[in-house]
Amino acid sequence: MRMSRMFFFGLMLCAVGVIANSQTQSGADAPHLQKQGNATQMVVDGKPFLILSGELTNNAATSLESLEPIWPKLVAANLNAVIVGVSWAQFEPEEGKFNYSQVDGVIAKARENNLRIVFIWFGCWKNGTSSFPPYWVKKDYERFPRIQIGEGKTVSSSGPVELLSTLSDATRDADARAFAALMSHIKEVDGAQHTVLMMQVENEVGVLRDTRDRSPAANRAFAGPVPAELMKYLESHKESLIPEFRQVWAANGYKKSGTWEEVFGPGKPATLEIPIQTTVSILGPLDHENSWQKLHWASDEIFMAWNYARFLEDVVKAGKDAYNIPMYVNAWLQQPNHAWPGTYPCGGPLPQVHDIWRAGAPDIDILAPDLYLEYFDSVCERFTRNGNPLFIPETSTNPANLMVAVGKYNTIGFSPFGVDGGRPIPVELATAYGLLNQLSPIILAHQGTDTITAARMNQGDQPKQVKLGNYTLTLTYIGRNTHIPPQAKGGVETPAQFAAANAEPPLEAAAIFISTGPDEYYFVGRGMRVDFTPNTPGPQNVGLGDVQEGKFVDGKWVVTRQIEGDDDAQGEILTLRNSILRVKLYRFP
Ligand code: DGJ
């Protein structure tokens, strides 16, 4: 449904009047999520906030001293937030004795640098395994049991597995107690200032080197009935279940009760070893982009998803009871060479088991992808089904992905991994972050409505048409030639400049388009030419009435260049110039 212009006018007055990352105000409400149309947004101190972040390497914050030179780099790269790990081992070196110094130090430095924080709770699991629990947990394998794989072993042909079992109340309670202590401390030191926006709980959970836990407790649970509360959830959400999951339930006759294998089909035989990395599954090559392992030991993956979800629901609930801010879990996605469950952590919050996670862990706000795959857009599609909000805690630094995630998939935030280490933010992403930071009040006022969209284009793509507001935009790839190609009338690049620009590797073009009035747009992005065709009655010719390149300073639009003459081929060609453009159109017969 289209929002009324008056509503927008009101939104804009509120939104443009704020500086997106100011921490000078504090509000009574803790950071929280709020729906706007089909988007979910992060709200901080009463205003929506677009998280333009980076994730530090896992142990970066275990020493405040070694983090010292990193802060200015984050600021220089235009980040407004940073994702930082908290190690359980460092936080609770002795049972019941908590060390708050790292967390306090990180919060203080973030404030000094006007950055917000998302903390990762590295508790029981990190990339499937259990490397972050304290020594007192690791060494006590009787109180804190590990999973078993194969036929009750801890070693497969691909190596041993050191992974805490979800089927232990003692483990769950220890993790939940520590997490609650962390959240209650964050509330104490940050409940008014809201530097900490959100928590990631654990990291990429799931069973590795087998499809499920085969410890005695797990085998007993697997042989027992599917819990009634899960069956009830599936019944009541039958029509909206994720299609690839529903297919599995349908294939077994939509049974309303039974053991896991009766309801969801056979699990993997314990004796069958999974190959380490292969692109071919037992059922042949997979279409990873679009499908799940067709009925491929689905019951094992569903069983594990339920057990991780139940465990983490209790941890999250303990944390939220202490301090209620948004919390998410992240998924290690199935990679093209991960054909068998267990080569990727089996039971993690992958799209095929989102319904299980929703049923088992209603207090988890977001199921998030760690998105390094080339088919970025289709992963965003799969992670925004059934209203799951999109947040991308780990990714690469491609600015085109940023534009599409923000403008098309309404992401709450974007965050390349390893920004303090071997993968610093490149200038191209820093530039894009700078632009989006400035435009964020307008972006956020439009997210979730039909007045904003984004597109990406690559060399060789045919022109694309995008209907937005009162016009259809025709987008043509021009790559690095952000000025006018010399063959165009009045082009400003010489043939030599044009050739030089084209000598560089082809650039992926991407932009966000926002319709802000009947004849007005804001554009941010690069590498495309935009032409306009009216889609309302009236004169059919469209002129570039007033084109300004500019920026927002204290919420006010400041023109940095008027675009006329050679800059728009005498009013005939509009190109995106890796800047923010405000475009007013007119029509003539
Ligand atoms: C994904 C994990 O979640 C991160 O902690 C880190 O290990 C990266 N992979 C490394 O690429």
pLDDT at 456: 98
Residue 136 backbone phi and psi in degrees, to 5: -65, -25
Query: For ligand 1, atom 5, which residue shows the shortest CA distance?
Result: 58
Average per-residue pLDDT in the chain? 90
pLDDT in tens, 384-418: 999 999 999 999 999 999 999 999 999 999 999 99
pLDDT in tens, 346-365: 999 999 999 999 999 999 99
pLDDT in tens, 170-218: 999 999 999 999 999 999 999 999 999 999 999 999 999 899 999 999 9
Q: How far is the CA of 149 from the centre of ligand 1 (A)?
A: 23
Give the contacts of 571 (CB within 8 A, at least 6 positions apart). 543, 544, 564
pLDDT at 2: 37
Residue 126: how many CA atoms within 13 Å on its side-chain side?
16
**Between 555 and 79, the higher pLDDT residue:** 79
Six-digit token pair at 94? Answer: 């002795």
Q: How far is the CA of 507 from the centre of ligand 1 (A)?
A: 27
Give the model's confidence band at 496: pLDDT under 50 very low, under 70 low, under 90 confident, else very high. Answer: confident
**Alpha helices in 192-297, H assignment, sequence order:** 216-223, 228-236, 243-251, 260-264
pLDDT at 284: 55
pLDDT in tens, 214-270: 999 999 999 999 999 999 999 999 999 999 899 999 999 999 999 999 999 999 988
Give the model's confidence band at 130: pLDDT under 50 very low, under 70 low, under 90 confident, else very high. Answer: very high
Q: How far is the CA of 312 from the centre of ligand 1 (A)?
A: 20
**Between 34 and 343, the higher pLDDT residue:** 34
Which one of 91-95, 271-275, 549-553 scores highest in mean pLDDT?
91-95
Task: Answer yes or no: is pLDDT of 93 > 90.
Answer: yes
Q: Which atom of ligand 1 is nearest to the CA of 85?
A: 5
Do 542 and 557 touch, CB atoms closer than 8 A?
A: no
Do 211 and 346 touch, CB atoms closer than 8 A?
A: yes
- Angle in degrees, 0-180, between the axes of helices 399-407 and 376-383, rounded to the nearest 10: 30
pLDDT at 504: 75
Query: Is the Cα dihedral 166, 168, 174, 179 positive or negative?
Result: positive
What are the pocket residues of ligand 1 if the criterion is a CB atom closer than 6 Å to any ligand atom?
58, 127, 203-204, 370, 394, 417
Query: For ligand 1, atom 11, which residue shows the shortest CA distance?
Result: 417
pLDDT in tens, 538-554: 999 999 999 999 999 88
pLDDT in tens, 141-159: 999 999 998 865 555 555 5
Task: Answer yes or no: is pLDDT of 324 > 90.
Answer: yes
Query: Is the Cα dihedral 574, 429, 554, 325 positive or negative?
Result: positive
Task: Answer yes or no: is pLDDT of 295 > 50.
Answer: no
Q: Which of 203, 419, 423 is the best mutation target for the ligand 1 pocket, counting ligand atoms within 8 Å of the beta carbon and taking the most?
A: 203
Q: Which atom of ligand 1 is nearest to the CA of 120?
A: 5
pLDDT at 390: 98
Q: Which atom of ligand 1 is nearest to the CA of 330?
A: 3
Task: Answer yes or no: is pLDDT of 23 > 90.
Answer: no
Q: How far is the CA of 325 from the centre of ligand 1 (A)?
A: 24
Q: How far is the CA of 386 from the centre of ligand 1 (A)?
A: 27
pLDDT at 575: 95
The Cβ of residue 260 has, within 10 Å, a number of other Cβ atoms equal to 24
The Cβ of residue 422 has, within 10 Å, a number of other Cβ atoms equal to 7
Task: Tell me the whole-structure pTM to 2 decimals.
Answer: 0.92
How many residues would you count in the chain? 589
CA distance 446 to 118: 24
pLDDT at 421: 87
Q: How far is the CA of 95 from the centre of ligand 1 (A)?
A: 27
Scan for tokens 């003692």, then name that residue. Answer: 170
**Alpha helices in 427-518, H assignment, sequence order:** 427-446, 495-503
pLDDT at 364: 98
Q: Which of 159-168, 271-280, 481-490, 553-562 has the lowest mean pLDDT?
A: 481-490
Q: Which of 20-24, 477-481, 559-563 has the lowest mean pLDDT?
A: 20-24
Task: Answer yes or no: is pLDDT of 429 > 60.
Answer: yes
Q: How far is the CA of 55 from the centre of ligand 1 (A)?
A: 10
pLDDT at 341: 86
In the predicted model, what is the mean pLDDT of residues 498-502?
A: 71
Q: Which of 59, 87, 127 is the best mutation target for the ligand 1 pocket, counting ligand atoms within 8 Å of the beta carbon and taking the most?
A: 127
pLDDT at 3: 40
Give the contacts of 6 (CB within 8 A, at least 6 positions apart). none
Give the model's confidence band at 1: pLDDT under 50 very low, under 70 low, under 90 confident, else very high. Answer: very low
The closest alpha carbon to 151, from 64, 45, 269, 49, belongs to 269
pLDDT at 338: 77
Q: Which atom of ligand 1 is nearest to the CA of 372?
A: 11
Do 41 and 444 touch, CB atoms closer than 8 A?
A: yes
| Three-state DSSP class for residue 250 | helix
Residue % of the chain over a pLDDT of 70: 87
